[in-house]
C-alpha cells in the first residue's frame, strides 16, 4: 500500500526511534527525514527564529506572564503585522547551484 501522508521530521533521536517508525508504517505514513544540521529546511525553525527576533532580542520581561503574552501576541498577529516578512522567510524556494563542484580533500 502506498503512503497517503508524508511527513518530514528532523533527525532528532526521538523521531527516529523504532516505535515512531512502526507507528508511521502502521498508519501508512512515510517519514522523509530532513538532513542533519539543516534547520533552514524546517519551516518551524524559521518561524521560531522570527519569533525570537521579535520577542526576545533586546527585551526584558518582568515575569513569565508578560513573556508568554508577547509570544502569543506575536504568533497571533504575525500574519497581519508581518505578512511580507513572513512570506519571504517561510518560502519553499531555495537557491539553486547550476555548476557546483565537489572538492575532494
Same domain, yes or no, for 53 and 15? no
Same domain, yes or no, for 47 and 85? yes
Same domain, yes or no, for 30 and 46? no
Q: Long-range contact list for 21-28, CB < 8 A, 24+ apart?
A: 28/1, 28/2, 28/3, 28/4
Q: What percent of the chain has pLDDT over 90?
A: 39
Query: Is residue 83 situated within a structural domain?
Result: yes
Indicate whether this model's pTM tops 0.75. Answer: no
pLDDT tens column, 67-87 = 999 999 999 998 889 888 888
Contacts of 101 (CB under 8 A, 6+ apart): none
Domain that residue 85 falls in:
42-89
- Give residue 35's pLDDT: 85
Amino acid at each position: 500500500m502506498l503512503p497517503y501522508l508524508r511527513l518530514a521530521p528532523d533527525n532528532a533521536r526521538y523521531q527516529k526511534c523504532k516505535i515512531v517508525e512502526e507507528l508511521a508504517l502502521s498508519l501508512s505514513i512515510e517519514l522523509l527525514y530532513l538532513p542533519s544540521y539543516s534547520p533552514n529546511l524546517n519551516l518551524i525553525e524559521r518561524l521560531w527564529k522570527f519569533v525570537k527576533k521579535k520577542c526576545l532580542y533586546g527585551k526584558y520581561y518582568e515575569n513569565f506572564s508578560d513573556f508568554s503574552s508577547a509570544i502569543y501576541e506575536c504568533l497571533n498577529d504575525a500574519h497581519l503585522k508581518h505578512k511580507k516578512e513572513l512570506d519571504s522567510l517561510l518560502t519553499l524556494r531555495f537557491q539553486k547551484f547550476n555548476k557546483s563542484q565537489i572538492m575532494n580533500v
